[in-house]
Structure 1
Amino acid sequence: MNAIAYTGCDIHDGNRLHPGAVLVMEDDVCAGIESTVPPGARVVTLDGGTLCPGLVDLQVNGGGGVMFNDAPTVETLRTIAEAHRRMGTTALLPTLITDRRHMSRAAIAAAVEAVGKVPGIIGLHLEGPHLSQARKGAHDASLIRPLDDDDMAMLCTAAAKLPKLMLTVAAETVTPAQIAQLSAAGVIVSLGHSDAGFEACRAAFAAGARCTTHLFNAMSGLGHREPGLVGATLDGAGAAGIIADGIHVHPTAIRAALHAKVAGSMFLVSDAMAPAGTDIDRFTLNGREILRRGGRLTLADGTLAGADLSLPQAIRVMVNEVGISREQAIVMATAAPAGVLRHKGSAGHLTVGARSEVVHLAPDLSTARPLTD
C-alpha cells in the first residue's frame, strides 16, 4: 500500500469543509477523506491550514513576468502556468486581452497545443475584442471591433479543438443570434465590458450567455430605473466572476451580490497580469506601460489594468473583509469555477477514486502551495 495520510489540518473537498479530517492519497489519487488514519498508511502531519483541490482560475492574463498578449506561445503559457501553480492555482484559462485577429488565432493555436502538454492549461479565455468602447477599461480602444463572420468561423472552429473556450463580449456589440450560434458550438459566452441596459443583457442571457466577467467592473451599474448588466446578473442570470482584492469591488458590494445570487454561482478570478509571482513593478500591454503600486496595477491615467492578486489572497479577502465562511470562500475558488466550465475532469474537486491536484492553504489564507511540490 502506497497510501499517505495527511493529518493536522482541515480538508475541503471543493464543496464542503471537513474539520480535522484525514486526507488519504495513493499515487496522486484521492483514496478517501476519513476520520482516522487507515492501517498501513504513511502519516504526514501538517501544521494547520486546509488541504483543498487545486484552485481554478478562469481569467489569467499573465504571470511569471510575462503577458499572454506579448507572445501567445506554448512557452509563454508554460511560464504563466508555472507561476500560478506556485501560488496554488493548478487549473486555469489563459486570457488574451483585446488584440488583433491574428493574435487571437495565435492564442488559439498555442492553447490547443498546450492542453495536455503544459500542466494547468485547460482551455482559453478571449476577453474581447468585441466590447463596448464606453466600458473598455484598460483595453486598447483602437483594437475593439464588431464580431463579424470571419470571427464567428474562427471561434466555432476553436471551440471544436479546445476542451474549454470562454469568450467575453459586450451585449450591445453582438446579436442574440450570434450568441446562440456560439453557445451551440460550445463557446462559454460571458458578458463584460458592456454599457448595455437590462433588457439587452437579459436577451443575451436568454440566447445562451451564461456568465458575467468581473462583476461590477467595466459595465453599466445597478440603477434603480435601469438595472444594467449588474442588475441582469444579480437577477439570477448566469454565473459571475469577481475580483476580490478589496480594490476592484468594495466588500459591501460583494456581500450584497452574494445575497442576491444562488449559492455557488459566483466565483473568484485573479485577473492576474505579468507581475503575478514576481517582484517586478511595471510591464507593458499593447505598448502602454502599466505600473504596480500598493496592490494596484494602473495605466498612467490611473485606470485599473488587471489585478495584483492571487486566488489565496482573494479567499482571504472574502473571509476577512467580506465576512463569509472559509468553507464558502474555498468553494468560490474550486468547485464554483469548475462548474462554470462544466469540467469533466477532477479540477476543483477531491473525488474518491479520481486523480486529484491538492494544495495546502496556509492557516492565514494568504498563500497556497501544491501538496506534491
Structure 2
Amino acid sequence: MQSNHYALKAATIVGEDNNYTDHYLVIKAGVINAITASLDPAIPCIDLGETTLVPGLIDLHIHGRQGCDVMDATMTSMTTISNSLASHGVTGFLATTVTSSWQETLDAMNNIGQASQQTMSGAQVLGGYSEGLFFTNEHKGAHNEQYFLELTHQRIDDLINASNHHLKVLALAPEIANACEMIEYLNEKKIKVMLGHTDATYDETLDAINAGACGGVHVFNGMRGIHHREPGCTGAVLVHNTNVEVIADGIHLHPAILKMICQLKKQQQITLISDCSNAGGLGDGHYQLGKTAIEVKDGVARTQSGSLAGSTLTLEKAVFNLSNMAEIELRDAIHMASLSPAQFLGIDKTVGSIALGKQADLAILDPHGKVQATIIQGRCIYNAAQESLSDHLNNIA
C-alpha cells in the first residue's frame, strides 16, 4: 500500500480539541485531511487496533542521547540523536548547546544550522537553543564557569550567523551586565529569551520579563528558589505571564511542585522538556556533559559536586509522569509536550496537534504507553519490532 492518501484507525485519537474513539485519521499528501467515524471504502486504511494516536512530540531542550552530544558538532551525532528521539515519539527538537569554549559553541551552532536545513532520518531539527556562557556562578549546575562570557551585541550576531539564522532560543541570567538591553536586542532578532542558572532576585527577573524575556529554564532548577520575602526568579516566572520548562522525571521536581505548576500556569505556558544528556539511553556510568564530567547512577545524572546534570529522561515518559504525578488529564500532558512547544516557537499553525490542515506528525502508543511508531508528514520514520504494525507502516514509508 504505497499511497499519499490513506487512513489510520485507532482506539483513541488525541485531537487538538477532543479525544476521538474508534475514529479514522485521514492523511493526504502528508497533511491531516479528516477525522471521521466512517471512511470512504476507496481510501486505503491501516487498523492500528488498541492504540492511541497522539501528536508528534516536540522537545525544546535536549543536549544529546545514545552517547552523542550536540556539542560534538558533527552530523553523525545529530543523526544519532534524531533517530533516538524518533523512537520515543519525538518529531521535532531544538538542538541545545551547553557551556563550552566560544569556538566550540560556534562550531556546534554551525552544525545545528546545517542540520536545520536538512531532512533528518528521524526527528527534525527545528533550530538551536543556546544554553550556557551567559550565566552566573551561584546556580551554575553542570555549566563550567571558566567559560562564562559577557553577552554583547557582537556575540549575539556571531551565534546567529554561525547557526545560519536558525538560533531560536538563548538562555541567560537576568543579573548579568546589560541583560535588559541584550534581551531587547535578541527580541529584535526574533530570538526567544529564557532565564536560568541565575541567582536573580524577583525584581531583577521582573525587569528581564518586562524587557521581553519569555520565561524560566527548567523551572525551580538552576535558579534562586522561592522565599516568602524574596520570591526570586522562580517566583517571578511562576506568577507572571511567562512560559516555564518542566522536567517531569520525579527527580528534578517533587510531584507536589509539578501539581502546583499545573495549577498556577495555563497549559500553553508549560513546556515539558527532557533536558537529556548524551547519557540518555545508555544506562549508568561516567559521561561528559560539555566540559563537565558527570556520573549516572540509578538513572540520575550528577556532577562530581552532586549537582543535577541534565537527565536521562525521554519525553513520552515525561508525559505520563506529569499526568500521574500532577493528577492532570493525559491529553493535557501530551499537549504540553507537543502543542505548547509549537506555540512557543510560533509554528502551531502547521504542527503540534492533531487538527485538520496540519502536518501528519504523529506518534502511535500501545496500551501501555510505549511508542510503537512515529510519523512525520505522513511518512513512517520509526516503527517498533512488532511485525503486524511494522509491515503496514513500512508500506506507507
Task: Name the amino acid aligned to 1:360.
Answer: I
Give 3-state SS (helix, strand or coil) of 1:40's partner. coil
State the alpha-carbon separation in 2 of the partners of residues 292 and 254 from structure 1: 23
Deviation at 1:368, TM superposition (A): 5.5
Paired residue for 1:128? 132
Paired residue for 2:5? 3
Task: Name the amino acid aligned to 1:306.
Answer: G
Q: CA deviation digits over 1:105-133, x for unaligned, max 9? A: 11221111111314210100010110120
State the alpha-carbon separation in 2 of the partners of residues 15 and 77 from structure 1: 34
Of the three residues 61, 66, 69, the one matched with 2:68 is: 66
State the alpha-carbon separation in 2 of the partners of residues 97 and 170 from structure 1: 14
Paired residue for 2:343? 339
**Greater than 6 Å deviation, 4+ residue runs:** none
- Are 2:363 and 2:371, in contact at CA under 8 Å, matched by a contact in 1? no
State the alpha-carbon separation in 1 of the partners of residues 220 and 25 from structure 2: 38
Task: Name the amino acid aligned to 2:83.
Answer: E
Deviation at 1:280, TM superposition (A): 6.3
Paired residue for 1:109? 110
State the alpha-carbon separation in 2 of the partners of residues 243 and 368 from structure 1: 23
Task: Name the amino acid aligned to 1:33.
Answer: I
Shift in CA distance, 115/256, structure 1 to aligned 2, threshold 3 Å: same
Query: Could you tell which deviates more after superposition, 219-228 or 75-84?
Result: 75-84
Paired residue for 1:204? 208
Q: CA deviation digits over 1:53-105, x for unaligned, max 9? A: 21100111001211122x11222212211111111111000110011111221
State the alpha-carbon separation in 1 of the partners of residues 52 and 230 from structure 2: 43
Paired residue for 1:270? 274
What is the identity percentage for the equivalent residue pairs of Structure 1 and Structure 2?
27
Q: CA deviation digits over 1:282-337, x for unaligned, max 9? A: 32234543222212112233221111100110011012222110110110010001
Of the three residues 171, 174, 187, the one matched with 1:171 is: 174
Deviation at 1:163, TM superposition (A): 4.2
Of the three residues 242, 254, 259, the one matched with 1:255 is: 259
- Are 1:236 and 1:262, in contact at CA under 8 Å, matched by a contact in 2? no
Aligned ranges for residues 7-156 of structure 1 at < 5 Å?
7-14=9-16, 16-69=18-71, 71-119=72-120, 120-156=124-160
Paired residue for 1:162? 165
Of the three residues 175, 188, 193, the one matched with 2:192 is: 188
Query: Could you tell which deviates more after superposition, 150-159 or 90-99?
Result: 150-159
- Are 2:281 and 2:312, in contact at CA under 8 Å, matched by a contact in 1? no
State the alpha-carbon separation in 2 of the partners of residues 319 and 217 from structure 1: 20
- Are 1:126 and 1:166, in contact at CA under 8 Å, matched by a contact in 2? yes
Number of matched pairs: 371
State the alpha-carbon separation in 1 of the partners of residues 198 and 93 from structure 2: 24
Deviation at 1:213, TM superposition (A): 0.8
State the alpha-carbon separation in 2 of the partners of residues 278 and 42 from structure 1: 39
Task: Name the amino acid aligned to 2:14.
Answer: H
Paired residue for 2:250? 246
Of the three residues 222, 229, 235, the one matched with 2:226 is: 222
Task: Name the amino acid aligned to 1:162.
Answer: H
Deviation at 1:182, TM superposition (A): 0.9
Shift in CA distance, 345/157, structure 1 to aligned 2, threshold 3 Å: farther
Deviation at 1:186, TM superposition (A): 1.1
Deviation at 1:152, TM superposition (A): 2.9
- Are 1:56 and 1:347, in contact at CA under 8 Å, matched by a contact in 2? no
- Are 2:219 and 2:234, in contact at CA under 8 Å, matched by a contact in 1? yes
State the alpha-carbon separation in 1 of the partners of residues 14 and 187 from structure 2: 32
- Are 2:136 and 2:176, in contact at CA under 8 Å, matched by a contact in 1? yes
State the alpha-carbon separation in 2 of the partners of residues 214 and 368 from structure 1: 28
- Are 2:56 and 2:361, in contact at CA under 8 Å, matched by a contact in 1? yes
Aligned ranges for residues 298-309 of structure 1 at < 5 Å?
298-309=302-313
State the alpha-carbon separation in 2 of the partners of residues 162 and 17 from structure 1: 38
State the alpha-carbon separation in 2 of the partners of residues 295 and 34 from structure 1: 42
Q: Does 1:311 align with 2:315?
A: yes
Deviation at 1:279, TM superposition (A): 4.3
Deviation at 1:366, TM superposition (A): 4.3
State the alpha-carbon separation in 2 of the partners of residues 2 and 80 from structure 1: 28
Give 3-state SS (helix, strand or coil) of 1:276's partner. coil
Give 3-state SS (helix, strand or coil) of 2:26's partner. strand
Aligned-pair RMSD on alpha carbons? 2.0
- TM normalised by structure 1 equals 0.93
Give 3-state SS (helix, strand or coil) of 2:277's partner. coil
Give 3-state SS (helix, strand or coil) of 1:99's partner. coil
